[in-house]
Amino acid sequence: MVSMNRLSTERRGQVVSCLVEGMSIRSTVRVTGAAKNTITKLLLDLGEACSAYQDEVFHNLPTKRIQADEIWSFVGAKEAHVREDHPDDYGDVWTWTAIDADSKLVPSWLVGERNSRDCYEFLFDLRNRLAPGRVQITTDGLGSYFQVIEPLFGADRVDFAQLVKLYEGGSDDRRYSPARCTGIDKRVVTGQPDPKHISTSYVERQNLTMRMGMRRFTRLTNAFSKKVENHAAAVSLHFAWYNLGRTHQTLSKKAGRPTTPAMGAGVETYPWSPFQIAGLLD
């Protein structure tokens, strides 16, 4: 095994390559030979560095259309199974995400609870990253969005709509499969959002990318996080790779060259490698 103080940037890059492709920490141990505690420490430190870098560069974004959503996971145990002797951070954890429908950049995310307080904090951060001008926002039917968006952005700056999907009633034998969507209800809340852009398809696809790219989000496995700070660090690393390093097929085809969401948003000029992301620690 290799200790932390002996890991070069190249070795760190090998670890990052495994983690961002959805491998668990134990799988990364077997592939790279680095110690489990070394990888965990690297994840925590690099997650903090990735958050700091993206917080610094994702500002004044010329975004016109935003889709927002929340994705469920848990730390330690699902909420219904949390006992009194469990740590305080055990239970359900929600990750709030916003995606630019044009560049596919994810400028803001928040790991927290599914309540109005965290909704406000998430959207406050998003608002402060956007360039001045009007923006169209589409969310699901969560009531917290309805309460927060117009007062926070202002009616003169936002066109806000909610898209509510209607599902058929499912029986217990369908618990491993999603219920069938039987229709959608588009609700204009504020302003005059363009009806053809009232959609949450991109942000829902981003949720799938998160489940595929982070082992901790895989359903019905024992790969969940044991500490909320590890969970948040994994989310930060995921979005650094998604925004800066992972080329997007649609953007690349349109641009005629490999293009990442950060390039599509005009905040970067080339795709990063896992080794460059690991180099944020240097």
Q: pLDDT tens track of the chain, all 282 residues?
A: 444 456 787 889 999 999 999 888 999 999 999 999 999 999 999 999 999 999 999 999 999 999 999 999 998 888 888 898 898 888 999 999 999 999 999 999 999 999 999 999 999 999 999 999 999 999 999 999 999 999 999 999 999 999 998 877 654 544 556 677 778 889 999 999 999 999 999 999 999 999 888 888 877 677 788 889 999 999 999 999 999 999 999 999 999 999 999 999 999 999 999 999 999 998
Helices 228-240 + 201-213 axis angle, to 10? 120
**Residue 66 is part of a domain; what is its CATH number?**
3.30.420.10
pLDDT, tens digit, 9 for 90 and up, residues 105-153: 999 999 999 999 999 999 999 999 999 999 999 999 999 999 999 999 9
d(CA 67, CA 160): 10
pLDDT, tens digit, 9 for 90 and up, residues 38-50: 999 999 999 999 9
Domain count, the chain: 1
d(CA 72, CA 144): 16
The residue range of the domain holding 130 is 4-281
CB 260 within 8 A of CB 273: no
